[in-house]
Structure 1
Amino acid sequence: MPRRLLRALHGAALALPLLLHCTACLADACPDWSPERAERELHTLATQITRWDSAYHRDGQSLVDDALYDQARARLAAWSRCFPTAARVPDALAAAAGPVEHPVAHTGLAKLDDVAAMEAWIAGQGDLWVQPKVDGVAVSLVYQDGVLAQAISRGDGRHGQDWTANARRIAAIPATLASGPGRQVLQGELYWRLHGHVQAEAGGVGARGKVAGLLARQTLSAEEGRRIGLFVWDWPDGPAEMAERLGGLRRLGFDSPEFTHAVAHADDIARWREHWYRQPLPFASDGLVIRHGQRPPAERWQAVPPHWAVAWKYPAEQALAAVRAVEFRIGRRGRITPLLHLEPQRLEGRRIARVSVGSLARWRALDIRPGDQVAVRLAGLTIPRLDGVVWQTDERAALAVPDPARHHPLSCWQAQEAGCAGQFHARLVWLSGRQGLALDGIGPGTWQTLQDSGQLRGLLDWLSLDEAQLGALPGFGAQRAATVWRSLQAARQRPFERWLRALGLPSSGNARLAVDWQSLAMRSEADWQAAGASVRQARQLQAFFAHPEVGALRRQLQSTGVAGF
C-alpha cells in the first residue's frame, strides 16, 4: 500500500509502544531557532510536503522517494513538538480521500525500526505469519454475486477514488470469482510486474510510482493492464483462521498464499525478511509484514494502524540529512570540491556525517547552505553519495566561496598567500604520500601542525628544520620529533623522478624524462611533443618548468644537494 498514506497517520502510530524505537531524525535535538525562524522553517517544510501530497494523490506523480517522504514528515512532527506554537503538520490524507466509501476500512500499517522493536512486538504472541510488503498501490476489490462490481483506491482508508473502469483492463484482477452469492471484499496491492527483481540490488526502481501514475489516468492500454499484478493481502470477510483464508484465496486463483508463511520465532521472521530482500521476486517490496492469523471482525476495522499487523521495512536506500556546514576543499592542482558536513545519520549500518558535492559547478547549481536538507545514499555500499536537495532552509547563510580563477595547477606555492592554506596543505600531503616521496609517519596531521606553527612558508622549508625545532611543536615530544626528523631527512635520498612527482610534475604521457632538471627545463612545447607528450601535456610541462616558484624550489633543492637538481 502507498507508504506515504500510512505515515500520514503519524498521530496514531506514534502512540504505539513500538515506535519508541525512534529513528535518527526523531532523536535529533531541537534546532536552536528563534520563534520567528521556527515559524518560517516549519511553514517551508509543511508547504513542501503539501506539494508532494498534491502531486501524488491528484496527478499520480511521486516527486520524492517514499523513504525521504517518511523522514520529512517525521522531521516536521519532531520540529512541531519543539515549537508547538509554530506547528503546521499538513494532513496528507486530505488530498487522498475520494467520493467512494470503502465497504471495509483500510487499516494501514505502523512500522518497526529494528530487530529489538520486532522482538518486542511478537513477545508472547502466537499465530504469527509473514508476507512480503509489496511496493505498489492499495486497492479494495468488491465482488457482488461473484462479479467485479467496484475497485476503490485506498484514499484515506475510509473513502477513495473509483478505479473500476481501469481495474477491468488489468488482467490480474478477475472479472468473476467462483465465490457464490453475496458480497466479497478483497484488499490488496496493485504492483508493476518485474522479472527476477532483487530488492537488495535494484531497490524500488520506481515501480510503485509507475502504477500510481497509470491508475491516475483515464484509461489503460491492454499492454499496461497486463504489466500490472495483484497481491491480495487480506480477505476481510473470509474465514477467521489464516490457514483457511489462504486455502480459499488459493482456490480463487490468487498466488499471494504462496508468499505467506507461518513463523514461530524472531529468527524465522528475520530469515524471511533477509530471504525476500535478497532473492528474486516478481515485484518490488519495501519490507516484510508480520500479522496475527486472527483479527477482529471486518466491521470493527478502522483507518488507523491496527494491533494485529505491522511492517518491518528494509534498510532505507536514502537518508535525509541536515547540512551543518559547507567546506570548500582545494586540491593541490586547484580543483575546488565542496564538502557537506551533515547531522550524522545511519544508512545501511554506516554512520554518514560527510558527503562530497562533487564540483563547485554542481554546488552552485544546487545552492546548498547550512540548514538545507539533502538526500544521501551509499554508492557501492561504502561511499556516501549526494542525490540532491530535498528542500532548502528559509535562512540562506552567506558563505566564503573560493574564486576558481585564483586556483590552478601553478597557484599557492606559499602558505601565506591569501586563500592558499588549503591548496598549499594539499601540496604537502601529496609530496609526502605514496605517489610522492613516500615519507613514513608524515601525514596530513603532521603538515597541519607545521603549518599552524608558522614553520612553513614555502613548500620545502621543512628541509631546514632540526630535531629540536620539531620537538618544540605542540603534541610532538622528543620521540615523535626524532621519528619525523629521520623521515624528513630520508627525503634527500629519494631519486630524481620521485622528487619530480612530489613537486607536482604534470603528466608527461609517453615522453621519457631526462635524468636532470636542466635538460627538462630547456625543452620547448615542440620538444615535449616530439618526446611523446600530447599537445596539452606539452603545454603544461613547459609552463611547469618555466614557472618562477618552481624555479625557486629547484634552487632550494640544489642548495641541499638533492641529486638531479
Structure 2
Amino acid sequence: MRKRWRWLGVPGFLVATMAGATCPQWTAAQARQELGALHDRLDGWNHAYRVTGQSPVDDAVYDQALQRFDRWRACFPQQAPAPLAHLADASGAVTAPVAQTGLAKLPDAAAVATWMRSHGSNLWVQPKADGVAVTLLYRDGELHQATSRGDGLHGSNWTAKALRIAAIPRHLPNAPSRVVLQGELYWRLPSHVQARDGGVNARSAVAGAMARDTLDAATAAHIGLFVWDWPSGPADMPSRLAGLRAMGLIDSADYTQPVGTLADVQRWRRRWYRQPMPFAADGTVLRQSRRPGASTWRAEPPEWAVAWKYPAAQALAEVRAVTFTVGRSGRITPVLELEPVQLDDHRVQRVSVGSLRRWQQLDIRPGDQVEVALAGLTIPRLQSVAWRAQQRPPVIPPDPAQHDTLSCWRWVPGCELQFLARLVWLGGKSGLQLDGLGPDTWQALIDAGLVHGLLDWMDLTAAQLAAVPGVGDARAEALLHAFAAARARPFKRWLRALGMPASGTIALTDWHTLAARNDDQWQASGGIGPGRAQHLLAFFRHADVRALAAHLHALGVIGF
C-alpha cells in the first residue's frame, strides 16, 4: 500500500505526518543537517562492511537506522541527500530470472492469526535465515548464474563468487532443464541459539564478503545456503519440497514445515529461537502452498508470504532527555530518557549510562541516537552512540565537587537528590526497615516542610503526618508506629542506616568507643586497611554525623 503524507504549515518549521508516524519538527536547515549526518554515518558503516566485512553496529540497529533515514527523506524531500545504496548493492547490470519480492512484516501473534485466517489452511512455516538473498539459475543441472537481490529486478553478478562457495551446488542431480532457486547466503554458526546469541552480525559478515572484489577460500567456506523457494518449481509446496530433496537440497526442505494453527507456528518459532541452528535467524516466514506463477512476481511484498520477526535484542533509540541521580554516597549516575523501544519482552524507556565520566566521554545530548541492548536478557544496557544530533542542547549535570560520601545530610539547594537517597537507604531493607516508607512518602514529607534533616521524622506527631496530602489518619498512625519501632532497632543496624563504612570484624559496642578510635586502632582490626581506616575516621569525626549521634542519644536510642 502506498503511504500518504500530509504536510502541515507551521511558521518557521517543516512538519509532516504519515499514517502512524510523525515527522520531526525541524527547520529546513536542521533537516538538511540531520539527514546529512545520518547519511554520512550509514555510508561509513557501509564502507566498513565492504572493506573489512566487519559491522560497527548490530545488524538490527543498521536496519533501523536505514529505515529512519528513508522516513526522514520522505519527510523532507527538498532537504534530503541522495539515497544510499544497500549494503551489498542497490541494483546491478544483471536481470534476475525471477523478481525478488521481499516480505511484509507482521507485528505480533494477533496479526499472524488474522493473516492465517484469510489465507486458507494449506500453510507452511520456515525460519527466516538472517543473511543476504541470492537467486540461482541452473540450466540442464549446471549453475549458470547467481544474482544478488539488488533492487529486486536487477542485481550484481555473483556467479564467479558462487562457484567458490561449496554450499552452492555447481550441479543439481535430477533437475529439470531450467531451475530458478531463491534463498539466503548465511554465515555458518554451528549450534547457534538465537535466543542466547542474537544475530552476532552474521548478515553483515556475509554481505561484506560478497561486496568485496574477491572471495577467498577461507571466507567462502564460512558461507552456507538456505533455499527458501523454488519459483520455477511445481505449483504446490509438497511437490516443490520433494523436488528440492531429489536435487540434494535436503536441509532446505527440512526447514519448511506444514502448519494449521497459530499454535503450530508458535511451536516452530520457539523451537528455532531457543534450540541450536546452523545459522542466525531473525524470525519466521509463513507461506501459502500455492502461489502465482513466477512470471507474475514483482519486486514488492506479495500477499502469499509474510514474515514474523523475533523481538530485537538490540535497538536504536532516540534520547529524549538526560537526567541524573545522586546516590547516598554522592555517586552521580546519568540516565537517558528514551523514545520507548521494544527489546524482547521488555519496553525500554530509560537506560543508565553508568558513570558521569562515561557520559562526559560520550557527550550524549537530547536528540542523539543510541544503541541499547539487554544485559542478561533483563536489564537495559547502553551499547554505543549510533550518531549525534547536529544541534547540541546544553545539559548541566550536578557538580561532582559538591557530592561525596559525607555530603548532603540536610535538604538544602543542590543536595535534594542525595539527601532523598539517604532517607530511602535509612528507611529501607538495608537500614531501619521502616514499613510504608518509600521515595514517594519521603518526598511528600519533605514537600510538606516536615523533614529538613535526616532524623526530623522522629519528632513528628500524628496530626502533622495526617495533614500531609495523601497520608490521612490511618496511614499517619501506621507511620507513627514504624517511627516508634525504629528507636528500638539495634545499634549495629542504626550505624548501617546512617551509612557507616564497613568496619570488618570489630565489635560495634557504642558510639563513644567507636568515635574515640584513631587510625592505628582501626587498622589493627581485622579486614581494615589504610583507606578504609581513613573513611571510618572521617565518618565518626564529621560534624553532621556527630550531630545526628547526639540527637539519637537525646532520644534514648541504645548505643548512642
Question: Shared topology, TM-score over 0.5?
Answer: yes
Q: Which of 345, 348, 353 lines up with 2:349 in the alignment?
A: 353
Instruction: Tell me the equivalent position of 1:273.
Output: 269
SS in 1 for 2:325: strand
Q: Which of 124, 137, 140 lines up with 1:142 in the alignment?
A: 137
Question: C-alpha separation between the residues in 2 aligned to 1:513 and 1:428?
Answer: 26
The 5 A counterparts of 1:127-526 are 127-179=122-174, 182-254=177-249, 255-416=251-412, 418-509=413-504, 511-526=505-520
How far 1:57 sits from its partner (Å)? 6.3
Paired residues of 1:111 and 1:312 also in contact (CA < 8 A): yes
TM-score, normalised to structure 1, is 0.89
Instruction: Tell me the equivalent position of 1:5.
Output: none
Moved more, 364-373 or 28-37: 28-37
Aligned pair in 2 of structure 1 residues 74, 138: CA closer, same or farther (>3 Å)? closer
Question: C-alpha separation between the residues in 2 aligned to 1:347 and 1:181?
Answer: 45
String of CA shifts for 1:79-117, please: whole Å, max 9, x gaps.
566667656683544952223322222111121111222
Amino acid at match of 1:389: V
Aligned pair count reads 543
The root-mean-square deviation of aligned C-alpha atoms, in Å, is 2.6
Paired residues of 2:332 and 2:356 also in contact (CA < 8 A): yes
Paired residues of 1:50 and 1:90 also in contact (CA < 8 A): no
Aligned pair in 2 of structure 1 residues 292, 59: CA closer, same or farther (>3 Å)? farther
Any unmatched runs of 5+ in structure 1?
1-10, 16-24
Moved more, 371-380 or 127-136: 371-380
Aligned pair in 2 of structure 1 residues 540, 93: CA closer, same or farther (>3 Å)? closer
Moved more, 328-337 or 52-61: 52-61
Question: C-alpha separation between the residues in 2 aligned to 1:243 and 1:273?
Answer: 21
How far 1:401 sits from its partner (Å)? 0.9
Question: C-alpha separation between the residues in 2 aligned to 1:219 and 1:331?
Answer: 55
How far 1:463 sits from its partner (Å)? 2.3
Amino acid at match of 1:314: Y
Question: C-alpha separation between the residues in 1 aligned to 2:234 and 2:247?
Answer: 14
Aligned pair in 2 of structure 1 residues 504, 28: CA closer, same or farther (>3 Å)? farther
Instruction: Tell me the equivalent position of 1:536.
Output: 531
SS in 1 for 2:145: strand
String of CA shifts for 1:376-396, please: whole Å, max 9, x gaps.
223333322222222222221
Question: C-alpha separation between the residues in 1 aligned to 2:378 and 2:371?
Answer: 16
SS in 1 for 2:524: helix
Paired residues of 2:138 and 2:179 also in contact (CA < 8 A): yes
Moved more, 521-530 or 327-336: 521-530
Paired residues of 2:365 and 2:392 also in contact (CA < 8 A): yes
String of CA shifts for 1:452-504, please: whole Å, max 9, x gaps.
23333322222222222222222222222222122122221111111111110
How far 1:346 sits from its partner (Å)? 3.1
String of CA shifts for 1:265-300, please: whole Å, max 9, x gaps.
333222222222122211111111111222233232
Q: Percent identity?
A: 56
How far 1:123 sits from its partner (Å)? 2.3
Moved more, 382-391 or 227-236: 382-391
Q: Which of 62, 65, 74 lines up with 2:58 in the alignment?
A: 65
Aligned pair in 2 of structure 1 residues 82, 451: CA closer, same or farther (>3 Å)? farther
Instruction: Tell me the equivalent position of 2:557.
Output: 562
Question: C-alpha separation between the residues in 2 aligned to 1:269 and 1:474?
Answer: 53
SS in 2 for 1:493: coil
Paired residues of 1:166 and 1:218 also in contact (CA < 8 A): no
Aligned pair in 2 of structure 1 residues 59, 96: CA closer, same or farther (>3 Å)? farther
How far 1:29 sits from its partner (Å)? 5.0
1:112 aligns with 2:140: no
Q: Which of 115, 122, 128 lines up with 2:116 in the alignment?
A: 122
Moved more, 449-458 or 91-100: 91-100
SS in 2 for 1:386: strand
How far 1:541 sits from its partner (Å)? 0.8
Amino acid at match of 1:420: C
Amino acid at match of 1:352: V
SS in 2 for 1:531: coil
Question: C-alpha separation between the residues in 2 aligned to 1:203 and 1:26?
Answer: 31
Any unmatched runs of 5+ in structure 2?
5-17
SS in 2 for 1:413: coil
1:103 aligns with 2:114: no
How far 1:333 sits from its partner (Å)? 0.5
Paired residues of 1:61 and 1:212 also in contact (CA < 8 A): no
Question: C-alpha separation between the residues in 1 aligned to 2:213 and 2:23?
Answer: 45
